[in-house]
Amino acid sequence: MATWIEALLDLQEVDLQIRNLKLRLAMIPKERNDLKEQINNEKEELNETNHSIQETELKLKGYESLMIKHYDAIAKLQQRSTQIRRNEEYQALMKEIEFNKAKISDLETETIVLMDKLDNMKRNFVRRKEECDAQVDNIQNELNELTSLEAEVKSMLVELAEVRDERAAKVNAPALEGYERIIKKNEGKPVVKIINGNICGNCRLKLTPQTVNDAKAGTLTYCDNCSHIVYLD
């Protein structure tokens, strides 16, 4: 194998590493946003549950206030009953008292039901909060790992850039110029081996006999179809 081909393959090796690392680096922002969205969703769910609990507690206080009003109304009606002499008025007053008692009874029943519901909501909230806290901790760990990975990849890219410069300096100018033109297109490997004697290792199409002969001679050779650099061992 010609020395210039070996030099190109060494350069290609580091370029492919750089390409893969850049692709990985490009994925990190979306992964980070997805993880942050998961945290927000967990917290939003808890906030909604807590809001429902607060609304239920306010409703219970409303029931309590209504019962107090009905009790006050009964007390006033009972006080008036001692001053009434006419039977019709007394019967009407008794109906009002019974009406208020019925309202109190209904409110007491609704209060019991609502208190049971509130107890369940609070128990579920405590359980869900524990799950949410654990989930958020896990996600936060993933975020921290992602930050570490990002720093590591960036550091590796800096190191590989130096390696690339060193390897590129070992490639002759014509080969390097052709290689750089192909690598910028970001299409597979710029330098590929000829397979089965006359097939391009990139596009898998048949090469002309002249192209194969040029590759055998160790000269800078391009595929007739995809224009990638081809070589033979």
Domain 20-170: which CATH number of 2.20.25.650, 3.40.190.10, 1.10.287.1490, 1.20.1260.10? 1.10.287.1490
**Domain locations in the chain?**
20-170, 172-233
Beta partners for residue 230, in sequence order: 192
CB neighbours of residue 144 within 10 Å: 10
The stretch 37-47 carries a mean pLDDT of 94
Residues 155-195 have pLDDT tens digits of: 999 999 999 999 999 999 999 999 999 999 877 899 999 99
Looking at residue 215, its amino acid is: A
For the entire predicted model, the pTM comes to 0.76
* 3-class DSSP assignment, residue 96: helix
Average pLDDT, the chain: 94
Q: Are 192 and 230 in contact (CB under 8 A)?
A: yes
Per-residue pLDDT at 83 = 84
Helix (H, G, I), strand (E, B) or coil at 193: strand
Q: Determine the pLDDT at residue 85.
A: 81
* Pairwise pLDDT comparison (233 vs 123), residue with the higher score: 123
- Evaluate whether 36 touches 119 at the Cβ level (below 8 Å): no
pLDDT higher than threshold 80 for residue 97:
yes
pLDDT recorded at residue 188? 84
pLDDT (0 to 100) of residue 173: 95
